[in-house]
Structure 1
Amino acid sequence: MRLLTYLSATLLFMSGCGQQNNTTPEEVAIDSNIVTLTEAQFKNAAITTGKVEQKQISTSLKLNGKIDVPPQNMISVSVPLGGYLKSTNLLPGMHIKKGQVIGTVEDQQYVQLQQDYLTAKTKINYLENEYNRQKDLNKSQASSDKIFQQSEADYRSQLVLISALKQKLAIAGINVNSISETKIIKSVNIYSPISGYVSKVNVNIGKYVTPTEVLFELIDPSNIHLALKVFERDLDKLYVGQFLLAYMNNEQGKKHKCKIMMIGKDLSEDRNTDVLCYFENYDQRLIPGTYMNAEIQVKNTPATAIPSEAIVEYEGKQFTFISKGKNTFEMVGVNTGENDNGYTAITFVNNSNIENQEFVFKGAYSLLMMIKNKEE
């Protein structure tokens, strides 16, 4: 019986010793936001440290706006005398050149206009001769002043009529030098006044159009610009000649370089104004009305900065780690500023001096996980 009791006591002692041997001799020791690593943990976390640096940090201003065209670059094409649209091959988005035939219109009034002009031109010879004859007769008192004045009025009235008909033909697009008694045209061509592209086609072949009706709408892309909305508080950060990068929401990887050409001088009710920017290389896929975003590097300011990867976020706040001795680190709150080229400007939340602190540059996230997991 005594032997059995001795063996039981021995087994219990050995079991207790076995439990003690399972305890790791080196463990993470924490105190609030302080963590101490073992040599193995320090090596596995690949932690590197360093001190803050004085960097020139660029401030980025983000804006939005849309592509716009000045009024003088939006052309509405109509026919001064109206008529039936005989032909056109225009489609929205089609590119055109200045002087290109974009449509043909015909109507009997063009025939009548040419007839009136040619008739008036033929009659002028008779009226001119009669005027000269009455002038000579009047000098010799062989004709009355009344008859001479009437012949002069008829002659000069005919000159006015010819001049007016000539201008009407020019407005209609008919060259008077290309018509004659045996050559009268019934249709006129419509020519593009600009080089650009077609915005709208409002008619179809065979339709009768009036002089006030717009057939085509054309856009000259030479002055297409990006109009950005800028609030009053940001106006002092911009200047004429400043460069920026613009992009569309669905093509954020495609950047378009622009240059500020004009800054508005009046503010809207929302306290903003338009800043006009021209594209250095205009992409013809960008059409007026398209909304775009823009980023502007507005200024370089000196700042105390550390690598951005040294800053971790937890519960909506920013933290970094500073060295407190061998393999011991403390998590401290920081205020972050602008970031540029992988560096972020910082200050301590408690406004402490950070110049001589040793910061964790790499491995900050691993330290955060060790602290929070241990707390849980």
Structure 2
Amino acid sequence: MKIKLTYILLIISAPFLLSGCGQTGSSDGHEHEHAEEKQDEHVHGDEEEHAEAEGVVELNAVQIANAGLQYGGMDTVNISAYVKANGTLDLPPQNIAAVSAPMDGFVKKANYLVGDYVKKGTVLAVLEHMDYIKLQEEYLSVINNLSYLESEYQRQKQLDSARVTAKKQYQAASAAYEGAMARKKALEKQLQYMGLSPKRVASGEISATINIRAPLSGHITALNVHNGAFAEQRQELYEIVDTDHMHLELNVFEQDISEVKVGQPISFAVPAMGEQRYKGEVFLVGKSFDQQSKTVKVHAHIGHENHDFIRGYYAEAKIYTEDKRIVALPEDAVVSDEGKSFIFILTEDAHEKGTVQEDEHGHEEEAGNHEEAHGTSFKRVQVVTGEKDQGFVQIAEVPELMKDVKIVTRGAYYLLSEMKKGEGGHHHH
């Protein structure tokens, strides 16, 4: 009987033991799952917190002072619509002179170099040749013989009027005299063309040299002369340009030419001289179309003369066709990052918080320490930009912002740099 009782007790006890073991295992499982959920919630919370912090930068008082920030709002500004054009600096034909030798000769003296400024009438070079002497001798011979021919002509004229001599002799004397006068005038023109004075030659001053003079005031831009060289007639020795009336020769594309009118203002830059912009005005709009470049020539006058301009320099211009109002911000307010454009807005200013706070016991305390702890926060907002002009950039798609929001108009690149530093120092484990 004892054996049977023990067996029954064991059978009865077994379910309870098994049940107890099952309950213990189930409890441990729930606790493990709960811990994993807590861990997941913690990680997810970190990710949400980081996501909220993305695009936000916080500066302390020292950084604010260094940044030199300025604020403003989204506003409409008056900006000009314009047509883009390019071309070159040029001069009118009357401001360019090619200087050549009136007769063949050897260069005895060359006085100036490329870049030198010379006034009209300045002696650029001295040429010499025996032909100069021969020409002057011929002139002297003609004027010396002219007195005899003139007296003979007058004598035959008187005889003809008295019908004492034959008509043929009078006509011969008249032809000889008139021929000598014509030759005298022609030689005088030649001497003057060479820069020699007929009066001085007539008085016996014969020169073996001639002076090559500047026909206008300006800068020497080309020369093909040196001492001892032989200069041929019509050979270009110097080129002189007067830059006082420099103008623009622009090329405007066919789709834009209908908008260009005489009198419209122009802003242009000369890349070879830097980023400075200069002003001008449309003076002439061409009437011929270039089939190759698909452009029309536009002639523009420059507002203020600049003697640093050089003929042939490339120029990039904007021809302003009309004024219009657009939503825009200063160029310094917009920054680029990874191909996108952004602005920064002020989201939390430590200096605008209340100066008194209550502690956990209900006592008032100064909030200065809290201000320093929080700093000043800025949020990055993506924008879509349009044209740039006169220091402003168009905001083509205006983001929805709170009323009276403060936009950073100066110092945005500083904020972007600080944000990049913060992103570089953040790591996930």
Q: What band does the TM-score fall into relative to the shorter chain?
A: 0.7 to 0.9
Q: For residue 263 of structure 2, what is the aligned residue in structure 1?
A: 240
Q: Are the aligned partners of 1:319 and 1:332 in contact in 2 as well (CA < 8 Å)?
A: yes
Between the aligned partners of 1:255 and 1:163, the Cα distance in structure 2 is: 55
Q: For residue 35 of structure 1, what is the aligned residue in structure 2?
A: 52
Alignment of 1:252-271 (within 5 A): 252-268=274-290, 269-271=292-294
CA positional deviation for 1:189: 1.3
User: Aligned partner of 1:361: which letter?
Assistant: I
Q: For residue 54 of structure 1, what is the aligned residue in structure 2?
A: 76
Q: What secondary structure is seen at the aligned counterpart in 1 of 2:316?
A: strand
Alignment of 1:149-188 (within 5 A): 149-180=171-202, 182-188=204-210
Q: Are the aligned partners of 2:264 and 2:321 in contact in 1 as well (CA < 8 Å)?
A: no
User: In the alignment, which of 78, 85, 98 is matched to residue 100 of structure 2?
Assistant: 78
User: Aligned partner of 1:192: which letter?
Assistant: A
Q: What secondary structure is seen at the aligned counterpart in 1 of 2:193?
A: helix
- Of structures 1 and 2, the larger Rg is shown by 2
User: Aligned partner of 2:313: which letter?
Assistant: T
Between the aligned partners of 1:199 and 1:291, the Cα distance in structure 2 is: 17
Structure 1: segments with no counterpart, 5+ residues? 1-15
Q: What secondary structure is seen at the aligned counterpart in 1 of 2:304?
A: coil
Q: What secondary structure is seen at the aligned counterpart in 2 of 1:205?
A: coil
Q: TM-score, normalising length from structure 1?
A: 0.73
CA positional deviation for 1:299: 4.2
User: In the alignment, which of 97, 104, 110 is matched to residue 132 of structure 2?
Assistant: 110
User: Aligned partner of 2:265: which letter?
Assistant: Q
Between the aligned partners of 2:390 and 2:206, the Cα distance in structure 1 is: 73
What is the CA deviation profile of residues 285-304 of structure 1, one whole-angstrom value per residue up to 9, with x for unaligned ones? 32212223345665442234
Alignment of 1:184-203 (within 5 A): 184-203=206-225
Q: Are the aligned partners of 2:266 and 2:282 in contact in 1 as well (CA < 8 Å)?
A: yes
Q: For residue 22 of structure 2, what is the aligned residue in structure 1?
A: none
Q: 1:375 to 1:107 in 2, by over 3 A?
A: same
What is the CA deviation profile of residues 35-90 of structure 1, one whole-angstrom value per residue up to 9, with x for unaligned ones? 379x9979999999997543334456654332222333221111222211111211
Q: 1:298 to 1:82 in 2, by over 3 A?
A: same
User: In the alignment, which of 391, 395, 400 is matched to residue 346 of structure 1?
Assistant: 395
User: Aligned partner of 2:385: which letter?
Assistant: T
Alignment of 1:12-31 (within 5 A): 29=48
Between the aligned partners of 1:50 and 1:189, the Cα distance in structure 2 is: 68
- Percent of pairs with identical residues: 28
Q: 1:343 to 1:359 in 2, by over 3 A?
A: farther
Between the aligned partners of 2:268 and 2:227, the Cα distance in structure 1 is: 44
Q: For residue 337 of structure 1, what is the aligned residue in structure 2?
A: 386
Q: Are the aligned partners of 1:49 and 1:358 in contact in 2 as well (CA < 8 Å)?
A: no
Q: Are the aligned partners of 1:57 and 1:339 in contact in 2 as well (CA < 8 Å)?
A: no
User: Aligned partner of 2:302: which letter?
Assistant: F
2:305 is the counterpart of 1:282: yes
Q: Are the aligned partners of 1:322 and 1:358 in contact in 2 as well (CA < 8 Å)?
A: no
Structure 2: segments with no counterpart, 5+ residues? 1-34, 348-377
Q: Are the aligned partners of 1:243 and 1:259 in contact in 2 as well (CA < 8 Å)?
A: yes
Q: 1:284 to 1:210 in 2, by over 3 A?
A: same
Q: Are the aligned partners of 2:103 and 2:194 in contact in 1 as well (CA < 8 Å)?
A: yes
Q: For residue 12 of structure 1, what is the aligned residue in structure 2?
A: none
Between the aligned partners of 1:300 and 1:124, the Cα distance in structure 2 is: 76
Q: 1:228 to 1:110 in 2, by over 3 A?
A: same
Number of equivalent positions: 349
Between the aligned partners of 2:427 and 2:333, the Cα distance in structure 1 is: 21
